[in-house]
Structure 1
Amino acid sequence: MSSESNTNDRLVPPSELARLVEVQLPAVINWRKRFSNFPKPVRSGESKYFRLWEVMAWWENRRIPASSRNEDEPEGTTYADRARRNLAARTGSLDGGVTLSLAVQEDDASSQQLVEDLLKMMKARVHASATSSTDSLDLLFSLTVLRTTAPATWSSLQQTVIPEEGSAEADKLLRLIGDSVDIQLRNRGHEPGMRVALTRLEFHNPRDLIAVIQASDRLGRIAFRLLLDEHATQARLESNESPTPEGLVRLMAGILVSPERLVRQVYDPNVRGGETLAALVDHFPDPSQVIAHGEGSHRETLRLAEMNLALRGLRAQLKHDPSPPWTRPDRPQITADLVITNPPFNRGRFTGQRRDEIRWPFGPLPQGNDNFAWLQHAVASLNVGGRAAVVLPKIACISTNRRERNIRQAMVERGAVECILTLPPQLFPGTPIAASVWFLRYPTDSRDQVLFIDAGKLGVVENGQRILTDEDQQVIKSAYRSFQADRDSGQTHEGTVGLSAAVPVEVIRDHGYSLNPADYQDLGTREEPSKLLFEAERAVHELALSHAEAQEAEALAHELIVPLLRPHHHDGDLPTDWRYVPLHELCDVKAGPSYSRLPVETRSAAGEIPVVLPKNLHNGRVDGTSEDRVSQRLAEDLARFRLVAGDILCIRSGTIGPPALVTDTQTGWLFGSNLLRLRRKRADTIDAYYLLGYLSQPRILERIKGLASNAIVPSLSTQSLGQFPIALPPFAEQRRIGEALRALDHQITAYRSLVWAATEARTNLVEHLLGGALVPRHNPYVSADPVPYFGEGIFS
């Protein structure tokens, strides 16, 4: 493809072609009818568009007749020359790209809450019968793109006012939003379609549209990704079109991209919602220097992919094609420095040439599925020195089909396979198929070690689906980087105990070219028996300590609670010595700093002072593992927002959950924008544990949530919370109640620790005892007493 196609791959209507070369519209129509080689149009609904670079190439061979030339146009001027001049005059460049506004400040928790709130708003304010299931999402997708890439348009939308009966104005505004996004899509060479979707929306009240626009002011890249997941659910996309899990694409991109590797072209032959290419781009310091290529079989998700990449200012060339990329010999071969893809699993939608007529680089394909076609296409698309990551079902690593085994053999022997990563189960929504990632490289015919990483036990389950946490990703990337460093320095890699093994090609050959990490798990460095013994003894000792601590906590809770269990007869709503007091008389209620004073980019794991966010509030306490930290200097500038022991934090907006108590550990930390801080005015008037317990009651939480229910995005103000009445007993009784609640919390924590210690001990012992690494000695207590013996030295 010519270099001009990189900058002029936009879609334009016939009328715009006429304006570019200063002719009448019938002239363009006449060219199309008279010349068979005139580019074919692209249809979108009832409209027709032409790819500008294709028409420019045709115009290069069409000289402007002398009678039609302008005074400043010499003989031999072509229509392409005139078009280039007019393009430069109109846009100031031939790029036609997007202009990014200031990036919205966002994080995972706030974006998740924002998306949930917006989806609820749309559901409540739009006539469902008049729309398809995804039209509301199309509005949110469009607003995200305009918010990020078109600051002037976005500012105009924010200032729009619609009267109560302004249905016509609302329809006009929806058309404006759709047209604005469609123009961007066409300028990027993609088929438009957002106007058609948005004009189907009907709001109950026209002014509800303005409310949605105003509430969308913090939509950004993270929110767009969350909306992609929601789109996959509502559109009931098949597994081959649903977005790849976020943790997985970040992991793949983190392994592929390295600072020393120059990248100019990236490619995904099954682009889905653009999440894989977006993850790559997020690792590049200057995305504008990278060109992304992609292909997809689904027009709607391909359009969303284009929008996803537009948010990053990336030049993208995405093509719609229902057939796999290797089935059209007339299509130009795409080559790239990095290839990343999650193709359809175990599917054979092969059309066109017969399989055996294609010259495959590593051998002919088996019948029935295209798994090994995707692998070979990925390697064939690499530039010299390039890398690829391909997600495939785990069966591709171990299948006994002769052709598949032969392809694995050829790829290993020619040095195309660098690393095989097996993934944990439940990672992909809607399918139980176990998967793996093949990390490939441009074939060098070298026979280096192949790294096998077994991540089958990593990840955590949330809402029935397993996710790879940031810690999991870091563990896997560290194992890969260590392997890469040893290989580049010519050293033999020993692997990472319990996670990875680096295996020579001759060993893989002996295993029949199986690429299943489980077949090589015993080949990594083994731990010394003395270390295994120490770990097993320590696990059992920790279990004994946790058991003793849980017993002590139970005894203390019983001691403090029993005296309180007496009837307290009274005639009124409260006992005679109790009273209701507004919260503001007991505590100073302060909201967190604004987003502009504490933006996302100021926070990182390398900072000195932790920042508490809503995600850090768990079980009435503040999670002490926050990686959101700021510099000491910024913390000093925000001194009014620092915490001291005894403060109570409440979630300010979104999903309002139970409050949390600040302890000595968090003294000096900052609290974030989406939190409210309660600080007691006098420590002898209200007990902190009593207040925490009072505000944590389910019925009280429901009443507090009611204070925030009238806002567009539910939000709790300092004034409304400050007026909330607190039932207050005498201080001495508060202390007794608070101490009892504190003892119960301690008991709950102790029993959680006991369960964790027992789980760890069992996991440790099962692995070492059943594997023969440790042998239990005779325990005289077992036959006499069935109670477990938590002594030391139980292993021989």
Structure 2
Amino acid sequence: MDNIELRANKASWAIGERLRGEVQSYQYHEVGSRIFTAKFLLVNKSHSITIPDDISWERISSSHYNIGNLIDELFYKIVHNNEFNLDLLSNFSLSKIGDHVLYDCLMIMDRSSLTIEEFQDTNLTGQYFLHLIQRLMENEGKELGTSVTPEGLNKLMIEILNPSNGSVYDGAAGIGGSLIEAYRFNNDDISMFGQEINGSNVALAYMNAITNGIDLSRFQIAKGDTLFSPAFIENDSNLMQFDYIGMNQPFGLKLNNIQMMDYDPYGRFSGRMGKISRMHGDLAFLQHTVASLNETGKAAVIVPVGVLSRSSHAERAFREYIVNNDIIEAIVLLPNKLLSYTAIQTVLLVLNNKKKSSRKQQVLFINAEEQFTSKGRSQHYLTQENIDSIVAMYEQSSTNTEDVKVATLTEIIESEFNLNPNHYFTSQTVETQFGDVIINKAVYDEKVKNKRTLKEIAQLSRGVNLPSKNTIKEGQKGYKVIQLKDVEDGKIDLESIEVIPVNNAERYMVESGDIIIASRGTAYKVAIVPDHYEPLVLSNMFIRIRIMDKAYKPEYIKIFLESPVGVALIEGMKKGGTVKALTTRDIEDIEFPDIEIDEQEKINQTVNDAEQKYIDLIKQAEEKLKQGKLSAYSKMGIENVIEILD
């Protein structure tokens, strides 16, 4: 199979190079997909599509004229001679591309494609088509996330669903990957339904199904908006409901025509599952998923973790609904970097209207963050071994382990319906100055007996909201406002701070000795406000911790917050989607070791001495490097050209 991927990659690169300057780059995949599908239809002997008798691959590939017209004619006749809804296959014409260009592309496909014998194996043709399209889209600079879910994620969803028969549905079908994976998993007893808003993707989904050997009488992708105009309706008034749903829904979708959703005839977006707003696209797809499950249905949906933990009324109402109705079965915390188009932390949410008795009144949290294989530094993927490990934890786990937490519905209700898996795991991997370390919060709670909470010794408040830049007028008076860019390596750069006009500045001013901690974004930043001689205001990117109890040193609290334990406690509380966020309520209950002030001062001095030694060693190393290079330049004879300015 690796050889298939290599051949597809080679063909896609060569086709992209040949089409460069001849068609728009975003059309490369339109050309490549139609050439390969045309060859499949004319060469494979087992598919059920009716094709015209007067067109053959030999006729097309040996012709130097009318190549585009011949392929267009093939698709036109297929559309009109088959009962399936294949209209979109002819929505892109090859006739406008020069015959000499198309001929070269056909030759590339012949050289780097499959043999005639291999074209009879739909496992091979399906794999080839997928890799071809992925690489062509990447050549175009497309983000695959809008169309193509990574193959490993599709496999994980389907193996969790374990479809044995019945109907499988995807309301954000893209090019049909989840449905085709369901077919590969069990090609005897399932029917496949999907909806996709992008017409080009719908055409690709049908070509994907054809080259995978799927009987199109069991495969239907509708073009349209799943939320505003769902395609699968029964009795003209009810949503069609399905046995299985596997979906990688759009992230961070903003909703238009929100007024229409208040009057949704299927009751998805108001009432029992929470009334949504324009910002609730993630939630709307989840509401649609629940409404589209039949009474024994099961869903596996990839979602941003924020929708399971954010405090908006609508999202909490949805979580209350799925918890109180006991339809949430498992939440799998996925590895990062599986989706190339986002850094958002993602989970696989498993809903089940017919949970087995041993799973009732509880939710299975699975930490699969370490279940990945690297493809370079920037991309991770799931191998079959990774998938098998996750599925085994899902199917076999009944007690708590390092990577599994079985939470009762009572625990979840007591946690205010927070479904973020990080909230429930006692062990957590965090990035620190020592590299990645594992922190066991249960051991911390057990072994460190004397602890106090931040709210017992300090006042906590957030910073001020900043005005948008286009509202600031030149010459307008303001205050120096500390922003994220002003804090590096635990220090505040007082010289770089901008003056910004803000309202009610006095409420948000900081004093010397205040601790500030970043409340938004991925960077973990903690600093102590130094002595200063003019007013400083804190932006809403930070939370201010002002120590009120003189028995505690700010430096000691900062050292704890920067420790691996402090980082784990803070990171486990961050909520949100694209931008993770903290509130004062999140961190006010964080417990730190309660020790005497003289011991705190000793700890502070130990850290100060270590930091100073580190700085001195860095300076020594820099001086040795400098002298070594100057010696090398002297041997080159260029030392007299260099004048060092202090």
* Superposition TM-score tier, normalisation by shorter sequence: 0.5 to 0.7
Within the alignment, does 1:384 sit opposite 2:277 as a pair?
no
Q: Which residue of 2 aligns with 1:249?
A: 154
- Alpha carbons 1:293, 1:317 under 8 Å: kept: yes
2:413 corresponds, among 491, 509, 517, to 509
- Going from structure 1 to structure 2, the CA distance change for 1:154 and 1:140 (only over 3 Å counts) comes to farther
Shift of residue 265, structure 1, vs aligned partner = 1.1
- In structure 2, the partner of 1:629 is none
Tell me the amino acid that sits aligned with residue 426 of structure 2: D
The equivalent residue for 2:274 is 364
Structure 2 contact 196–202 (Cα < 8 Å) conserved: yes
- Taking structure 1 as reference, are residues 445 and 349 closer, same or farther at Cα in structure 2, changes over 3 Å only? farther
Counterpart position of 2:214: 313
1:295 aligns with 2:195: yes
**Contact 2:332 2:366 survives alignment (8 Å):** yes
Does the C-alpha gap of structure 1 residues 342 and 124 become closer, same or farther in structure 2, counting only changes over 3 Å? closer
Report the alpha carbon displacement of residue 450 of structure 1 after superposing the two structures with TM. 0.6
Render the CA deviation track for 1:280-314: whole Å, top value 9, x for unaligned. Answer: 1111041xx42211111100011111221232314
Q: Does 1:270 align with 2:181?
A: no
CA distance in 2, matches of 1:313, 1:500: 37
Secondary structure (helix, strand or coil) at the match of 2:396 reads helix
Measure how far apart 1:346 and its partner are.
Answer: 2.1
- Give CA-to-partner distance per residue, 1:111-166, whole Å, 9 cap, x none: 2211122123324544x333232544334323443454553579974534867xx5
- Residue 232 of structure 1: how far off its partner (Å): 3.9
Pick aligned residue for 2:394 from 455, 464, 480: 480
Q: Structure 2: which amino acid aligns with 1:250?
A: K
Q: Cα deviation per residue 1:545-602 (whole Å; 9 max; x = unaligned)?
A: xxxxxxxxxxxxxxxxxxxxxxxxxxxxxxxxxxxxxxxxxxxxxxxxxxxxxxxxxx
**2:208 partner SS:** helix
Measure the CA separation in 2 of the matches of 1:205 and 1:327: 40
Confirm whether residue 283 of structure 1 aligns to residue 185 of structure 2.
yes
Structure 1 residue 392: deviation in Å? Answer: 1.0
One-letter amino acid of the structure 1 residue matched with residue 58 of structure 2: Q
Give the CA deviation at 1:242. 2.6
How big is the shift at 1:384? 2.3
SS of equivalent to 1:317: strand
The match for 1:159 is 58
Match of 2:108 in 1: 212
Preserved CA contact (<8 Å) 2:300 2:350? yes
Kindly indicate whether the alpha-carbon contact (under 8 Å) linking 2:305 and 2:345 is maintained by their aligned counterparts in 1: yes
- Inter-partner Cα distance in structure 2 for 1:425 and 1:465: 9
1:417 aligns with 2:313: no
The 1:249/1:130 distance shift into structure 2, 3 A limit, reads: same
* Residues 269-668 of structure 1: pairs in structure 2 closer than 5 A: 269-286=171-188, 289-310=189-210, 311-314=212-215, 315-322=218-225, 324-325=227-228, 333-351=239-257, 354-358=260-264, 359-360=267-268, 362-367=272-277, 368-442=279-353, 447-463=360-376, 464-483=378-397, 493-497=398-402, 499-522=403-426
Contact 1:147/1:154 (CA < 8 Å) preserved in 2? no
TM-aligned CA deviation for residue 327 of structure 1: 7.0
Distance 1:167 1:157, change over 3 A: same
Match for 1:112: what amino acid? E
Shift of 1:365: 2.6
Q: 1:171 to 1:450 in 2, by over 3 A?
A: closer
| Closer/same/farther in 2, CA of residues 413 and 161 from structure 1, 3 Å limit | closer
2 CA distance for matches of 1:527 and 1:511?
17
The amino acid across from 1:299 in the alignment is: G
1:501-521 CA-to-partner distances (Å, cap 9, x unmatched) read 111111111111111112211
Q: Secondary structure at the match of 2:425?
A: helix
The corresponding residue for 1:655 is: none
Counterpart of 2:85 in structure 1 is 189
Cα 1:477–1:147 shift into 2, 3 Å = farther
Structure 1 counterpart SS, 2:21: helix
2:172–2:226 Cα contact (<8 Å) kept: no
**1:114 paired to 2:10:** no
| TM-score relative to the length of structure 2 | 0.57
Distance 1:125 1:473, change over 3 A: same
Equivalent residue for 1:227? 132
Query: Deviation per CA, 1:431-450, whole angstroms, max 9, x where unpaired?
Result: 21111111001277984221
1:198 lines up with 2:90 in the alignment: no
Name structure 2 gaps, 5 residues minimum: 46-50, 119-123, 429-439, 444-563, 570-646
Q: Structure 1 residues 145 and 170 mapped into 2: Cα distance closer, same or farther (>3 Å)?
A: closer
Which structure has the larger Rg? 1
Question: 434-443 vs 329-338, which deviates more?
Answer: 329-338
Rate the CA distance shift 1:197–1:235 in 2: closer, same or farther, 3 A.
farther
Please, which of 133, 136, 140 is the counterpart of residue 32 of structure 2? 140
Size of the aligned set, in residue pairs, is: 412
Whether 2:21 is the aligned partner of 1:129: answer yes
Q: Deviations over 1:682-734 (max 9, x none)?
A: xxxxxxxxxxxxxxxxxxxxxxxxxxxxxxxxxxxxxxxxxxxxxxxxxxxxx
In the alignment, the residues of structure 2 paired with residue 267 and residue 331 of structure 1 have an alpha-carbon distance, to the nearest angstrom, of 19
Q: CA contact under 8 A between 1:425 and 1:466: conserved in structure 2?
A: yes
TM-score normalised by structure 1 residue count:
0.47
Cα pair 2:195 2:223 within 8 Å, conserved: yes
**How many angstroms apart in 2 are the aligned matches of 1:519 and 1:352?**
32
Write the letter of the residue equivalent to 1:375. Answer: L
Partner SS for 1:167 = coil
For the Cα contact (< 8 Å) 1:138–1:197, is it kept in 2? no
CA distance change for structure 1 residues 149 and 172 in 2, over 3 Å: closer, same or farther?
closer
SS of equivalent residue, structure 2 residue 87: coil
CA distance in 2, matches of 1:462, 1:284: 29
Amino acid of the residue matched to residue 422 of structure 2?
A
Q: In the alignment, what sits opposite 1:622?
A: none
Structure 1 residue 394: deviation in Å? 1.0
Deviations 1:248-305 (A, max 9, x none): 11111111015xxx4221111111110111111111041xx42211111100011111
On the 8 A contact 1:178/1:194 being kept in 2, the answer is yes
Aligned to 1:535: none
2:472 alignment partner in structure 1: none
**What secondary structure, in the 3-state scheme, does the structure 2 residue paired with 1:322 have?**
coil
Task: Give the Å deviation of 1:457.
Answer: 2.6
Contact 1:263 1:338 in 2 (8 A): no
CA contact (8 A) 1:327 1:352 kept: no
By percentage of residues, which structure has more strand? 2
Residues in 1 aligned to 2:230 and 2:220: alpha-carbon distance in whole angstroms: 19
Using the alignment, how far apart are the partners of 2:195 and 2:144 within structure 1? Answer: 16
